[in-house]
Amino acid sequence: MQLDTRSLTESEAALDSLTDRSPLASLTWLAERFAGKAVFSTSFGIEDQVVTHLIFTHRLPVRVFTLDTGRNFQETYSTWARTLDRYQQPIEVYYPQAAAVEKLLAEKGPNSFYYSVENRRECCHIRKVEPLNRALAGQQLWITGIRAEQSANRHGMKSLEWDAGHRLIKFHPLFDWTFEQVRDYVHEHNIPYNPLHDRGFVSIGCAPCTRAVRAGEDFRSGRWWWEDASKKECGLHYTPADSSTEIPNPAPSNLQTSSASIA
Ligand code: SF4
């Protein structure tokens, strides 16, 4: 059955009618409504680990996958391994097309993303967006770990929304949670999390494009820190209109540590 925005309206009404509107109750209803066509994308960040815990602990009918960009931190791979050990349930993985990565590095070298926003988006497209499109093909429900306070670009979003690009419903079960709620839940349930969170990393992506943030800095200031804040999306959840800005100084500074911690 082809999905359209009426499915979103029906789902919104159903969730509104639930007595229990917790993330688990909403997630359970949607997972069962879209069973066989429901997926969760994880990058093993702390919010994603909460959602993974809910899905795996309650055996929800949701396929869990990750995008391995090939540039992740070793700590991210360790978190992935610990998650498999803890839950003993499968996490599918999508890699970039080898030919596209080979062509990119042969033509522009391994660090082209530092030289312009256009180059950075090209790398994100090859390593993230294209694999994501394959992962989402034919699906009807895409679950994410996004929270409302994570980015200025995401303040116009809702916890349940229509993704016109992928023609499916997106659900962010932790949308209204604060970082403190996430941190407390992880500790309460002894959920494995990326140790980089204890070293000031809040939003963790690829190693060359992520650094720690200082106390009081914006959540996403550690991602693509050399770019204008308005350009900071990788294309997974946002399609920017302008991709022409050049970066005058491509050299990244050393990582900054922070007192921000989930410990
Ligand atoms: S975050 Fe950086 S390394 Fe990762 S895909 Fe985007 S540009 Fe490439």
Domain ranges in the chain are: 5-195
Separation of CA 252 and ligand 1 centre (Å): 14
User: For residue range 160-171, what is the model confidence (pLDDT) as tens digits?
Assistant: 999 999 999 999
Q: Evaluate if residue 125 carries a pLDDT over 80.
A: yes
Other CB atoms within 10 A of residue 20 CB: 9
pLDDT at 244: 29
The 10s digit of each residue's pLDDT in 188-226 is: 999 999 999 999 998 899 999 999 988 888 777 888 888
Interhelix angle for 117-124 vs 98-108, to 10°? 160
- 144 versus 150: the higher-pLDDT residue is 144
Q: How far is the CA of 169 from the centre of ligand 1 (A)?
A: 26
CA angle in degrees (0–180, nearest 5) for 97-99-100: 70
Give me the pLDDT at residue 93, please: 98
Alpha carbon of 231 to ligand 1 centroid (Å): 13
Q: Report whether pLDDT(254) > 50.
A: no
Q: For ligand 1, is residue 96 a contact (CB within 6 Å)?
A: no
Confidence label for 232 from pLDDT (cuts 50, 70 and 90): low
In what order do the strands lie in the sheet containing 92-94? 92-94, 63-67, 38-41, 141-143, 168-171, 160-163
Q: Is 127 in the pocket of ligand 1 (CB under 6 A)?
A: yes
Q: What is the mean pLDDT of residues 179-185?
A: 95
223 Cβ below 6 A of ligand 1:
no
Q: 46 with 197: CB under 8 angstroms?
A: yes
**pLDDT at position 57 over 70:** yes
Architecture of the CATH domain 5-195: 3-Layer(aba) Sandwich (3.40)
Q: What is the pLDDT of residues 15-48, one digit of tens each?
A: 999 988 899 999 999 999 999 999 999 999 999 9
Identify the active-site residue in 123, 124, 209, 234: 234
234 catalytic residue (yes or no) = yes
Average pLDDT of the residues of the chain: 87
Closest Cα to atom 6, ligand 1: which residue?
Answer: 124
Query: pLDDT-based confidence at 97, cuts 50/70/90?
Result: very high
Our answer on whether the CB atom of 69 is closer than 6 Å to any ligand 1 atom is yes
